[in-house]
């Protein structure tokens, strides 16, 4: 197609909030496909390939790219394969179409000079648009990631796992739960243009609480599907005027079939979710 | 030397708390050398080597092994080098003498199946004795690491950076700071035999507070030296009957000289710290 037909995101190697919203509108989707590519779960016929995880991710991406606005490789699955896994990760990231937002789900965070190196690993050595970051160590563990122009931090606020109740919901002396303090404090560090939040889907009404505190920021929402969250609740409580949601599905899509038809099955699942998202966008946007 | 001369730790590939204490007594040292091996900071003459970071770490380890009971590669420094960095990390870990405790300073932590893969990366793919873990996501993000026999979790409790004040010191409704809840809650997950804590050295009296809550656990203490903490305070407030301390020094040792004599300079610094530690062990143990 001629160049003037392409949007900014298709030409450039980074994505603004406006551009992400434009992709969401174009595809009528706020689907993030989680690439939790497990060597023990991928279809057997791939195991004779020279790089089975790459072949798996490649087919998943090719089949679901029409319906996804983001891909989220789960870094642990690649890291567990050793140096070869990092080569695979890099190749996988490179084959994701430029107009699709990429998330290194790494949950990093350390003192300043160390966080800066993690940022370099994901933003420079590889070219991810964003990385998930853990907040426990505070400002100087997060801000080094925010100093990279046109890159995003996705900060853990309220996660979807059982353990989220151990610390994230602890109320301070004024009755404010920790995750709310994380949301408030971190707004001094970044803006809706470079900071998103992980907000689990397992409790719909809590997403509404989060939305009140951060009206403009995007949320990366795990926990829909396999972990039991409801897509309707997420949209009802979480959507804002630029959608403001990236809802992740990993296992439900990528392991929809364990056979040779896994790509087509993933496509069907992604398409189904996109259809639901289209309706929700029409309803709430 | 004949085999019957070796301790358990010298023969076996894992280290118990008793064995770690025995090494501390043997060397009169509780020094951990932090391998923050920065390609931009290592001596210029190493840059023509085929793997400069490996050559740097090798000489540091050879020169300081007499005085150190632990080595702590900072994973970000290797990760930032891409797949090659992971090969270097593996080689570095392999050349550390078996009787010396190894710490993958990675600050990982994610939902259960993902944490399990991070654990596999550091405990199986590589053979580290321990890994640092962030607590924000709670029990199911930490326990997968604890399920590996003869391996250790070093959980972030009270870190030494400025940002530690953002969340770790927040008091709950009963006036208890978050880091204390982390200490208390995590004792349901692990024991002094497989769980240590990161406790920063920048506030000596706080180490005493931590010691009251966890009398038996080892602490990994960063922040002595470059970050301003006092070794005497750490020993005074933190030592227990099996020492219970691993005090880390990174930059002060490994960059003691930026010239060809960097190994000898590192040895001198390590020896100096070990001398101070010997006195403190005699004073407080």
Q: Which residue of A has its CA nearest to B138?
A: A163
For testing the chain A interface, which of B89, B91, B117, B118 should be mutated: the one with the most A CBs within 10 Å? B117
**Confidence check: pLDDT of A53 > 80:** yes
- What CA–CA distances, in Å, run from B14 to A33, B81, B93? 39, 28, 13
Residues on chain B touching A159 (C-beta within 8 angstroms): 111, 136-137
Q: Answer whether A173 sits within 8 Å of B168, measured CB to CB.
A: no
Q: What is the pLDDT of residues B31-75, one digit of tens each?
A: 999 999 999 999 999 999 999 999 999 999 999 999 999 999 999
What band does A229 get if pLDDT is binned at 50, 70 and 90?
confident
- Domain annotation covers residue B181: yes
**Domains of chain B: total:** 1
Cα B168 from Cα B274, distance rounded (Å): 31
Across chain A, mean pLDDT equals 94
Among A82, A125, A140, select the one facing B161 at the smallest CB separation.
Answer: A140
- The phi, psi pair for A234, rounded to 5°, reads -60, -45
- Domain annotation covers residue B79: yes
**Confidence check: pLDDT of B3 > 80:** no
- Domain annotation covers residue B106: yes
pLDDT for the residue A90: 98
- Domain annotation covers residue B285: no
Cα B78 from Cα B90, distance rounded (Å): 10
| Least Cα separation, residue B245 to chain A (angstroms) | 21
Among A82, A86, A172, select the one facing B171 at the smallest CB separation.
Answer: A172
Q: Answer whether B138 sits within 8 Å of A164, measured CB to CB.
A: yes
The residue among A71, A195, A250 whose CA lies nearest residue B114 is A250
pLDDT for the residue B10: 53
- Domain annotation covers residue B176: yes
Among B135, B136, B172, select the one facing A171 at the smallest CB separation.
Answer: B172
Cα A28 from Cα A30, distance rounded (Å): 7
Across chain B, mean pLDDT equals 94
Contact (CB, 8 A) for A127 and A171: no
- Contact partners, residue A165, CB within 8 Å, separation at least 6: B138
Q: What is the DSSP string of chain A?
A: --GGGS-HHHHSS---HHHHHHHHHHHT--EEEEE---TTTS-GGGGGSSSHHHHHHHHHHHHHTTTEEEEEEBHHHHHTT-HHHHHHHHHHHHHS-TTSEEEEEEEE--SHHHHHHHHHIIIIIS--SEEEE--TT-HHHHHHHHTSTT-EEEEEEE-SSTTHHHHTT-BBTTS-BHHHHHHHHHTTT--TTTEEEEE-SS-HHHHHHHHHH-SSS-EEE--BSTT-B-HHHHHHHH-BTTB-EEEEESHHHHTS-SSTTHHHHHHHHHHHHHHHHHHHHHHH-
**Confidence check: pLDDT of A1 > 50:** no
- What CA–CA distances, in Å, run from A36 to A249, A272, B42? 10, 20, 36
Q: Answer whether A109 sits within 8 Å of B107, measured CB to CB.
A: yes
**Span B116-126, average pLDDT:** 97
Q: Which residue of B has its CA nearest to A186?
A: B166
pLDDT for the residue B150: 94
Helical ranges in B12-82 per DSSP H: 17-27, 52-64, 75-79
Would you say the ipTM is above 0.85? yes
Contact (CB, 8 A) for B196 and B20: no
User: For position B17, which CATH number holds?
Assistant: 3.20.20.70
- Domain annotation covers residue B283: no
Q: Answer whether A171 sits within 8 Å of B167, measured CB to CB.
A: no
**Confidence check: pLDDT of B166 > 80:** yes
Lookup result for tokens 């056979």: A259
- Domain annotation covers residue B44: yes
Count CB pairs under 8 A between chains A and B: 181
pLDDT for the residue B13: 67
pLDDT for the residue A7: 58
Q: Answer whether B163 sits within 8 Å of A172, measured CB to CB.
A: no
pLDDT for the residue B63: 98
Q: What is the pLDDT of residues B190-227, one digit of tens each?
A: 999 999 999 998 878 899 999 999 999 999 999 887 66
Q: How many helices (H) and strands (E) does chain B have?
A: 13, 8
Q: Tell me how long chain B is.
A: 285
Contact (CB, 8 A) for B144 and B115: yes
**Span B118-134, average pLDDT:** 97
pLDDT for the residue B279: 98
Q: C-alpha A220: how far from its chain's center? A: 5
Active-site residues of B: which are they? 107
Among B76, B87, B173, select the one facing A114 at the smallest CB separation.
Answer: B76
Structure tokens at B108: 């990982």
| Least Cα separation, residue A178 to chain B (angstroms) | 8
Residues on chain B touching A107 (C-beta within 8 angstroms): 108-110, 134, 137
What band does A205 get if pLDDT is binned at 50, 70 and 90?
confident
**Span B6-17, average pLDDT:** 68
Which residues on adjacent β-strands are paired with residue A31? A68, A247
**Confidence check: pLDDT of A200 > 50:** yes
Q: Answer whether A107 sits within 8 Å of B111, measured CB to CB.
A: no
Q: What is the pLDDT of residues B242-252, one digit of tens each?
A: 999 999 999 99
Of residues A203 and A46, the one with the higher pLDDT is: A46
Q: Tell me how long chain A is.
A: 285
pLDDT for the residue B1: 45
The residue among B121, B152, B157, B120 whose CA lies nearest residue B20 is B152
Contact (CB, 8 A) for B250 and B74: yes
pLDDT for the residue A11: 55
**Span A15-42, average pLDDT:** 97
What band does B229 get if pLDDT is binned at 50, 70 and 90?
confident
Q: What is the pLDDT of residues B138-151, one digit of tens each?
A: 999 999 999 999 99
Cα A220 from Cα A156, distance rounded (Å): 9
| Least Cα separation, residue A273 to chain B (angstroms) | 23
The residue among A110, A186, A144 whose CA lies nearest residue B109 is A110
Active-site residues of A: which are they? 107
Residues on chain A touching B108 (C-beta within 8 angstroms): 76, 107
Q: What is the pLDDT of residues A128-138, one digit of tens each?
A: 999 999 999 99
DSSP B258: S
| Least Cα separation, residue A27 to chain B (angstroms) | 30
Q: What is the pLDDT of residues A112-166, one digit of tens each?
A: 999 999 999 999 999 999 999 999 999 999 999 999 999 999 999 999 999 999 9
Range of the domain at B35: 3-277
Cα B53 from Cα B77, distance rounded (Å): 10
pLDDT for the residue B148: 97
- What CA–CA distances, in Å, run from B33 to A35, B12, B63, B264? 36, 22, 11, 15
- Domain annotation covers residue B103: yes
| Least Cα separation, residue B139 to chain A (angstroms) | 5
Contact (CB, 8 A) for B35 and B75: no
Cα B176 from Cα B198, distance rounded (Å): 18
pLDDT for the residue A84: 97
Lookup result for tokens 């405990």: B123
Angle subtended at Cα B209 by Cα B139 and Cα B234, rounded to the nearest 5 degrees: 105
Q: Answer whether A142 sits within 8 Å of B160, measured CB to CB.
A: no
Other residues' Cβ atoms within 10 Å of the Cβ of residue A71? 28
**Confidence check: pLDDT of A226 > 80:** no
**Confidence check: pLDDT of A9 > 80:** no
């Amino acid at each position: 197609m001629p160049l003037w037909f392409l949007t900014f995101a298709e030409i450039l190697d980074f994505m603004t909030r406006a551009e992400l919203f434009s992709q969401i509108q174009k595809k009528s989707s706020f689907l993030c496909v989680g690439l939790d590519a497990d060597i023990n779960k991928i279809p057997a016929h791939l195991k004779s390939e020279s790089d089975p995880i790459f072949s798996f991710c490649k087919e998943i991406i090719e089949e679901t790219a029409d319906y996804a606005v983001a891909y989220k490789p789960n870094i642990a699955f690649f890291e567990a394969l050793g140096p070869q896994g990092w080569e695979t990760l890099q190749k996988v990231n490179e084959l994701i179409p430029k107009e699709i937002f990429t998330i290194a789900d790494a949950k990093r965070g350390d003192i300043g000079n160390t966080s800066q190196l993690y940022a370099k690993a994901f933003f420079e050595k590889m070219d991810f648009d964003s990385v998930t970051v853990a907040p426990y160590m505070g400002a100087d563990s997060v801000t080094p990631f925010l100093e990279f122009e046109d890159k995003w931090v996705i900060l853990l606020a309220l996660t979807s796992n059982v353990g989220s109740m151990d610390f994230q919901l602890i109320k301070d002396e004024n009755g404010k739960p920790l995750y709310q303090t994380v949301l408030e404090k971190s707004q001094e560090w970044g803006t809706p243009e470079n900071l998103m939040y992980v907000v689990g889907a397992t409790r719909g009404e809590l997403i509404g609480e989060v939305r009140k505190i951060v009206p403009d920021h995007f949320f990366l929402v795990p926990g829909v599907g396999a972990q039991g969250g409801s897509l309707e609740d997420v949209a009802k409580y979480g959507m804002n005027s630029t959608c403001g949601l990236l809802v992740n599905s990993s296992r439900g899509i990528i392991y929809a079939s364990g056979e040779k038809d896994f790509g087509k099955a993933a496509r069907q699942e992604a398409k189904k979710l996109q259809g639901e998202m289209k309706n929700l966008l029409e309803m709430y946007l």
